[in-house]
Structure 1
Amino acid sequence: MRALIIVDMLNDFVDGLLANPRAHSIIAPLGRLLKHARANGWVVVFSNDAHQEGDPELRVWGAHAMAGSPGADVIPQLAPLDGEIVSPKRAYGAFDFTGLDEQLRERGVDEVVVAGQHTHICVRHTSYGALIRGYNITVARDAVCCFEGVNEDDALGYLKMAYAAHVTTVDELAGAPAAAPA
């Protein structure tokens, strides 16, 4: 069973306090992947920063995606549906102190498809968490992004080398989009 884990596609990371201009380029492919996952019965997870005062990450990035704030909400284009897992996190990795592993195991998941932000930080830490818990890892290269100035190919190469992640595309996972009528 596959699970799609969408990491940090939040208001604060797309257009808010820590906006990443590259995030806009992955919204459409992520939307296609999400639609495919839902249509094919994958477990869908939204792993979202939801910080509280005193979280160690705030020392690095300042206040962002504070629990209960609009900045910690998933962007409207990818809004979770009832029954999907919304997993708040207080550190980089989706599996760190969140109970996500137990929720996935209950649903028979053995492979995670990781997408979202940021390839070199939260996607990386989520992939590590998946590896040490025994999940197979797939990353759709066109549904993840780094910060400006960080080499995406290097970040993806690290996931392949260190975590045996299968790096592919949304088209390969979901099938090529239908051609527009002539």
Structure 2
Amino acid sequence: MQPAILVIDMTNDFLTGKLRNDRALKTIEPIKDLVSRARKHSVPVIYVSDAHYSADHELTIWENHSMKGTWGGQITKELTPQVGDYSLEKRTYSAFFETGLDSLLRELNVDNLILTGVVTNICIQHSAADACLRGYEITVPTETTEALNDKDYKHALNYIKTMYGAKIVSSTELL
């Protein structure tokens, strides 16, 4: 089984900017540790982050955030992609929608996605759905993802596990 780490929406706006989420700040170190271990084992690390245009439909639901080319749209400096990592832009919830992610994963022979980042009940959940429908196994390390509140976080993890057969594990159990 060939895994890949997906780091979803760990941008300045989701952490400390327009959509500030103090709960998400505690995911930075566990993601940083997991990504470091992945690199040591030649496991692909793929960042997929919002890079919105002002016409994006999602912005009618949420305020402007992670706008393409802005500080808010940049990946937080603690998780800056390294040489050999991949970085893709998205304009809606799923990491798969019109990003080229599926093609990249197939070229890398990946069959197991380890989903990290924010927001568990939105972008992580939609990305898990698309991953499942494309035949990927899904793993979600609990310390590496977060929602806006505990109720949504627990519900999303349960939904991802029940509906998509995901393994919900501690990040220390991986790699």
Fold conserved (TM > 0.5)? yes
- Report the residue type matching 1:160 in the other structure: K
AA in 2 matched with 1:114:
L
Distance 1:113 1:51, change over 3 A: same
User: 2:149 is paired with a residue of what secondary structure?
Assistant: coil
Match of 1:32 in 2: 33
2:21 maps to: 20
In the alignment, what sits opposite 1:179? none
Cα-to-partner distance string for 1:62-94 (whole Å, 9 max, x where unaligned)? 211011111111101110012211010000000
Contact 1:20/1:148 (CA < 8 Å) preserved in 2? no
> Hey, what's the Cα distance between the residues in 1 that align with 2:84 and 2:52?
23
Deviation by residue 1:116-162 (Cα, 9 ceiling, x = unmatched): 10110000011011111110000001110000364422211000001
Q: Specify the alignment match of 2:138 in structure 1.
A: 137
**Equivalent residue number for residue 99 of structure 2:** 98
Q: Which residue is equivalent to 1:48?
A: 49
Q: Identity over aligned residues, as a percent?
A: 37
**Structure 2: where are the runs of 5+ without partners?**
none
Distance in 1 between residues matched to 2:97 and 2:112, nearest whole Å: 18
**Structure with greater Cα Rg:** 1
Aligned to 1:128: 129
C-alpha separation in 1, matches of 2:51 and 2:83: 19
Paired residues for 1:71-86 under 5 Å: 71-86=72-87
Structure 1 gap segments, 5+ residues each? 175-182
Deviating 4+ runs (over 3 angstroms): none
2:140 counterpart of 1:146? no
Distance, in Å, in 2 between the alignment partners of 1:86 and 1:75 is: 13
> Kindly tell me: are residues 173 and 149 of structure 1, through their superposed partners in 2, closer, same or farther at Cα, counting changes over 3 Å?
closer
Q: Distance in 2 between matches of 1:161 and 1:68?
A: 37
Q: Within 1, Cα distance between the matches of 2:62 and 2:131?
A: 24
SS at match of 2:156: helix
Q: Counterparts of 1:50 and 1:80 in 2: how far apart (Å)?
A: 16
1:177 maps to which residue?
none
TM-score of the superposed pair, with normalisation by structure 2: 0.96
Output the CA distance in 2 between the equivalents of 1:150 and 1:97.
30
Counterparts of 1:95 and 1:101, CA distance in 2: 6
Q: Which residue of 1 aligns with 2:89?
A: 88
Separation (CA, whole Å) in 2 of partners of 1:148 and 1:131: 25
Q: Which residue of structure 1 aligns with residue 8 of structure 2?
A: 7
Match for 2:128: what amino acid?
S
SS at match of 1:3: strand
* d(CA) in 2 for partners of 1:53, 1:141: 33
Count residues in correspondence: 174
Query: In structure 2, the residue corresponding to 1:120 is in which secondary structure?
Result: helix
Secondary structure of the 1:142 match is: helix
